[in-house]
Amino acid sequence: MYACAIALALMMFRKEEDAETLISRMLLDKDAVLRYGGSWCISLAYVRTSQSSAVRKMLHISVSDVSNDNRHVATMSLAFVTSNVPEQVLGVVKLLSEKYKPHVPYTAAMALGIACAGSANLEAHNLLQPLVSDATDYVRQGAVIATGLLFMQTAPGKTECVKEFRRKMKKRIGDKHEDVMTRCCQQQ
């Protein structure tokens, strides 16, 4: 069922208003999987547009859907929709990264990595730093992946942050005490 929902979302890539009928039907469905697909539909239909109605829908879903998965997808979808103006997602992520439940900061980190990919944005880097040292392994993993996205295609000499991140990752890869989940994602 997830595959069908995501396939429908992929078919709506950059369709914007033409996708609205499908989006509405999916978001209003009682089945959480179809609502999940509806969030991805918005994400893909409005990717890099910062379209205000899409952002409002994602914010609403991220705080009100009964399904944890749907709230997480909505948060990540915000990153895809606003990736042309990453500053929009920074404020939302700042609030979410401080939440107690570990899935929320993981999702916030991934959203930040997606929205700010390749930008070497210092504010995004500063938001991710506490998460790289989080007590929960998958939050650390998400923060490491997000930091990698943030610094991708950035020359090592461009900022001190890139050099420091690379140095820390090399050290962590060899650290036998580092959690396998975080260490494995760093070896890629």
Q: Which residue has the tokens 């992520």?
A: 93
Q: Output 184 or 72, whichever has higher pLDDT.
A: 72
- pLDDT recorded at residue 102: 75
Confidence of residue 167 (pLDDT cuts 50, 70, 90): confident
Smallest Cα–Cα separation from 60: which of 47, 42, 48, 44?
A: 42
User: How many CB atoms are closer than 10 A to CB 42?
Assistant: 30
pLDDT at 183 over 70: no
Report the share of the chain in percent with pLDDT over 90: 41
- pLDDT recorded at residue 176: 67
The backbone torsions φ and ψ at residue 147, rounded to the nearest 5 degrees and listed phi first, read: -65, -40
- pLDDT tens sequence across 55-97: 999 988 988 889 988 888 998 898 899 888 888 888 777 777 6
Measured CA to CA, the distance from residue 96 to residue 90 in angstroms comes to 10
Rounded to an integer, the average pLDDT of 25-44 is 95
Q: Output 23 or 75, whichever has higher pLDDT.
A: 23
Ranges in the chain annotated CATH 1.25.10: 87-188
* Domain 87-188 bears CATH identifier 1.25.10: yes
Q: How many residues does the chain have?
A: 188
Q: Which residue has the tokens 């401080």?
A: 98
- pLDDT recorded at residue 179: 61
- The H-assigned helical ranges of the chain are 2-11, 20-28, 32-45, 52-64, 68-81, 87-96, 103-115, 122-132, 137-151, 160-174, 180-187
- pLDDT recorded at residue 187: 45
Measured CA to CA, the distance from residue 146 to residue 86 in angstroms comes to 13
The pTM for the full model equals 0.76
Q: Tokens at residue 161, please? A: 């942050």
Per-residue HEC secondary structure of 11-35 comes to: HCCCCHHHHHHHHHHHHHCCCHHHH
- pLDDT recorded at residue 1: 81
